[in-house]
Amino acid sequence: MLQFTRRQALGTGAAAIATATLGLTVSSAHAANDSGDLINKFTGGKKPTEGKVKLDLPEIAENGNTVPMTVSVESPMTEASHVTDVLIVGDGNPNGGMATFHFSPASGVAEANTRIRLATSQNIIAVARMNDGSFYTVSKQVKVTIGGCGG
């Protein structure tokens, strides 16, 4: 008689499905992380002016693991007037810092795109430093349905 292989190892698989509890915590209980300090350090204590910077992010991100983000700064990008650095921070991640972009007149256009992780719904803040030492900023709120920091 033929003997069947044992197929009893199926039990463990089903447990993981129950974890998707759809925790839509869009309350603005912003865990204070180091984003404010990072901005202060970047600007040297100066208060950045609103404007010139544009952040392109989805209003609602379904998957916080990879959220496309475009930042652009209005500037002629000449030797005389250009953007040198752009700092991106988020106030709802375990660490505030996300990325810093460095531009020069050789960049031609101050624009960059990458994909970021968002642990929860939060404000993304971009701060641009100009070569004359002035700072411009913009912030944008993104709602996240599934966070990007879990297993």
Partner 1 sequence: MATAPKPRIKLDKKEAKKGDIVEVKALVSHIMETGQRKDAQGKTIPRKILNKFACTVAGKQVFAANFEPAVSANPYIQFKFKATESGPVVLTWTDDDGSTIVGEDKITVT
Integer Cα distance of 67 and 61 in angstroms: 7
Among 53, 55, 61, 98, binds partner 1 (CB under 8 A): 98
Residue 151 binds to partner 1 (criterion: CB under 8 A): yes
Residue 13 binds to partner 1 (criterion: CB under 8 A): no
Residue 28 binds to partner 1 (criterion: CB under 8 A): no
Name the 3-class secondary structure at 69: strand
Q: How far apart are the first and last CA of the chain?
A: 45
Touching partner 1, residues 29-68 (CB under 8 A): 65-67
CA angle 106, 126, 50 (to 5 degrees): 100
Determine the interface stretch with partner 1 among 12-20, 39-47, 52-60, 112-120 (rule: CB under 8 A): 112-120
Residue 147 binds to partner 1 (criterion: CB under 8 A): no
Residue 116 binds to partner 1 (criterion: CB under 8 A): yes
The amino acid sitting at 49 is T
Sequence-distant (≥ 6) Cβ neighbours of residue 41 within 8 angstroms:
none
* Residues 91 and 30 sit within 8 Å (Cβ to Cβ): yes
Residue 122 binds to partner 1 (criterion: CB under 8 A): no
By residue count, the chain amounts to 151
Reading the block at residue 9, the tokens are 């190892």
Residue 114 binds to partner 1 (criterion: CB under 8 A): yes
Residue 102 binds to partner 1 (criterion: CB under 8 A): yes
C-beta of 122 vs 137, nearer to partner 1 = 122
Reading the block at residue 111, the tokens are 């624009």
- List residues binding partner 1 (CB under 8 A): 65-67, 70, 77, 90, 93-95, 97-109, 111-118, 148-151
